Chains A and B, each alone.
Chain A
Amino acid sequence: MMRIAILGFGSVGRGIARAILAKNLDITVTGLADSRSGIIDPAGIDLLAALDRKGNGDPCGNPGVSPADVVAKADYDVLVEVTPTNVDDGEPALGHIRGALRRGKHVVTSNKGPIALAYPELRDLAAANGVFLKYEATVCGAIPLIHAMQEGLAGNTLSRLYGVFNGTCNYILTRMAEDALTYEQALAEARELGYAEADPTYDVEGIDAAIKLVILANTILDMQTTLDDVERTGITLLTPEALRLAEDQDCTIRLIGEIVPEAGVLRVSPRIVSKTHPLVVEGTLNAVTVETDLAGDLTFIGKGAGSMETASAVIGDLLYIHDRYVQGS
């Protein structure tokens, strides 16, 4: 039996709780915290009750228990850090991840901030403590891109990696192309459907996609980059006429993130793409192509966000650790 502590009980945290309830994963939750409260229970937290409380708009646990208490005091094998991303300094998640690693606990996170900002430090801290740091859910939700590149494509040299890393932008561009909507109309529709935040800057200016490139560059491609190294253009100035001009040539426009390690290219920008290209996916899907020397070109397509989809990536990481490092299971 593997014991985990979950920080963050929003969409992703609840998705993980539901998956644990629904499937026999051999995982018990001994610590849980949201922004307002926490629970520590070595015997296992009643997740159904916690989900109910959250569903009623109540805190998931006891207001006297903080996330830091859960990190420091709960009895767990793996800390699951699934709070929202802070791109400025990665906090408070960064501190919590450090705390767990120093306690000799494995960490699984969906939080882009700490991985984009402090990966080398966290990797070394995990190694020094003999534990694992996994972050599959930080890039492209359900698509097991990091696992595929670290394990399945081990031994390959990647010459180029590019794709659709942001579902919100992809939805907006899909709608602009389909029904000749203006950017503003498509954005309003995306908001109504819950695909875009009230402040969509992070998505539509390409910041989210750029952070994902930084994570892939730093963790998989051994580059040392920051968000400032990414040449970035968003989609806010695109016109329906531009999409029509692309359409006239059997092409469309997509927001593409691209890394060319050899040339030092890190770039997020709208690009003209042939409609028959495998990266041209509809709606909120993500798609990534990697060009490698041994395996040739591979394209991964899947859901880049969503409660259960992101939980899937977290659970994949948890079971990876479970199979290798948890005794007595």
Chain B
Amino acid sequence: MKLEMRDQPGQLVAALQPISAVGGNIIAVIHQRETPAATKALDVQIVLELPEGRLARLLELLREQGVNVVRIGEERLLYECTLIMIGHLMHTDLSDTVDRIDTTGSAEVTELSLVMPAISSPSSARITIRSTTRDEMKKAIRILRSVAEQKDLLIIEPLEDA
């Protein structure tokens, strides 16, 4: 999520405190010094992660602190992870495999490339999952692992985390 506010004295400090108060995690604070002088106040962008359902409370706290929030840019699915699956993907109901992740509500399959070289030989797929938090991604991968075990599929995970 991205918050933008005017850079008036004291506003930044006033903005950071409520974020931690609602359990948010600050990823970056960006000062835009190039903003035309005419606007007088400078823009500050704060990129942060916020647990589900805390945004209203955060905005309330920010208003109490006198912080003027200019714009909220929400990117819900922040984390991305690409894996490869090998096995009888169609015969083991690929759409069910995808559904098991999508039904979590906090992670979803956003891309799928499937290669089926020949009937009865195993197919290979590259699957991209996006999620709201790192923990949700770990959960999605755990789900995929257990589905793979049930359906006798091989899952190839990336070396590095999402």
Contacts and interface: CB of A to CB of B under 8 A. Distances in A.
Interface string A248-281: 1101011010000000000001111110010100
A279 B123 CA distance: 27
Given A256-B159, A269-B157, A248 B86 contact: no
Given A237-B154, A271-B159, A279-B159, A245 B122 contact: no
A233 interface: yes
A241 B154 contact: no
Contact of A272 (B83, B115, B117, B123): B83
B36 interface: no
B115 A241 contact: yes
Interface string B70-94: 0000000000001110110000000
Contacts of A271: 156-159
Contacts of B124: 239, 241-242, 245
B126 interface: yes
B117 A241 contact: yes
Nearest to A238: B86
B95 interface: no
Contacts of B125: 245
Interface residues of A, number: 24
Contact of B86 (A239, A251, A254, A274): A239
A272 B122 contact: no
A246 B126 contact: yes
Contacts of B115: 241, 244-245
A223 to B, nearest CB: 21
B113 A239 contact: no
B154 A162 contact: no
A249 B111 CA distance: 13
Contacts of A251: 158
B123 A241 contact: yes
A238 B154 CA distance: 8
A274 B84 CA distance: 14
B157 A272 contact: yes
A233 to B, nearest CB: 7
Q: Which of A241, A248, A251, A273 has the most CB of B within 10 A?
A: A241
A241 to B, nearest CB: 4
A273 B160 CA distance: 8
Given A238-B156, A239-B124, A256-B159, 16 more contacts: A162-B159, A238-B154, A239-B117, A239-B122, A241-B124, A242-B84, A242-B124, A248-B113, A249-B126, A254-B159, A270-B156, A271-B157, A272-B82, A272-B156, A273-B159, A277-B159
Task: Give the 5 A-B CB pairs with smallest separation, nearest first.
Answer: A241-B124, A241-B115, A245-B126, A242-B124, A272-B158
17 contacts: A237-B86, A238-B154, A238-B156, A239-B86, A239-B117, A239-B124, A241-B123, A244-B115, A245-B124, A246-B156, A248-B113, A249-B126, A251-B158, A270-B154, A271-B159, A272-B83, A272-B158
